[in-house]
Amino acid sequence: MTDTRTAEPLRRGRPGYDQRGILEVAVAAFNEHGYDATSIGMLAERLGLSKSAIYHHVASKDELLALALDEALDGLEGAMRAAEEASGTAAERLALVLRQAVLVLADRLPYVTLLLRVRGNTDVERAALQRRRAFDHAVAALVVEARDEGALRADADPAVVARLLFGMINSLTEWYDPSGALTPDDLADTILALALRRSS
């Protein structure tokens, strides 16, 4: 007779997904096929779930997009808050926000990649772009402070400098491999050395 007290419990059906698991699959699909071309039906097929099972966790595809974009933007805005709350010169605070932005990108690579691809075609995308513009303006203001301290060239347009700095950081979405030899801190050291002429 089998001792049922030690028997393994029966496992039925596919493993369940929580909202986070569904979001990760959705972000991968959005990046692969584009947001507009990705349907809830496609996500259901990838997940091995019914559409109603997805709707148990989120109200719509738009909500998945909003959650994904929040993941990227919350990280970048957190980097700016850390710089604003830090002591030190404007150049040091600019270096901090750049370093933190690299770390956010490396940690949330699929989410930041998605953010960089939105074009304002929906209300969710337009809200995300507004937040991204506010972040860009805050970085540009920090560049102005660093320039006025004499840490940056006086003849450089701060908005252009901010765009160039984040153009370099954002390019990581095209080639950075988190499983490769370069750590996020290595990347941040290199970017700061190039952008601000800092010794790594």
pLDDT tens profile 11-60: 333 457 899 999 999 999 999 999 999 999 999 999 999 999 999 999 99
- Predicted confidence at residue 197, as pLDDT, reads 67
Clarify whether residues 30 and 100 are in a common domain.
no
Question: Mean pLDDT over residues 142-164, rounded?
Answer: 89
CATH number at residue 140: 1.10.357.10
- Predicted confidence at residue 9, as pLDDT, reads 38
Q: Give me the helices (H) in 86-157, please.
A: 90-107, 109-117, 123-148
Clarify whether residues 147 and 51 are in a common domain.
no
CATH number at residue 22: 1.10.10.60
The pTM of this model reads 0.86
Q: Which structural domain range is residue 175 located in? A: 69-196
Look at the chain and report how many structural domains it folds into: 2
Q: Does the structure show a pLDDT above 60 at 7? A: no
Clarify whether residues 74 and 54 are in a common domain.
no
4: buried, middle or exposed (CB in 10 Å: 19+, 13-18, 0-12)?
Answer: exposed
Residue-wise over 137-157: b if at least 16 C-beta within 10 A, else e?
Answer: ebbbebbbbbbeeebbeeeee
Clarify whether residues 158 and 189 are in a common domain.
yes
Any domain includes 9: no
Q: What angle do CA 53, 124, 52 make, to 5 degrees?
A: 10
Q: Does the structure show a pLDDT above 80 at 157? A: yes
Clarify whether residues 114 and 181 are in a common domain.
yes
Q: Does the structure show a pLDDT above 60 at 145? A: yes
Any domain includes 103: yes
Q: Does the structure show a pLDDT above 70 at 162? A: yes
Where does a domain end: 5, 38, 58?
58
Q: Does the structure show a pLDDT above 70 at 86? A: yes
Contact 153, 147 (CB under 8 A): yes
Q: Which amino acid is at 112?
A: V
Contact 132, 100 (CB under 8 A): no
Clarify whether residues 38 and 89 are in a common domain.
no
Clarify whether residues 37 and 124 are in a common domain.
no
Any domain includes 52: yes
Clarify whether residues 122 and 192 are in a common domain.
yes
Clarify whether residues 90 and 51 are in a common domain.
no
Clarify whether residues 79 and 23 are in a common domain.
no
In 3D, which of 43, 47, 48, 18 has the Cα closest to residue 29?
43
Contact 162, 65 (CB under 8 A): no
Any domain includes 156: yes
Any domain includes 64: no
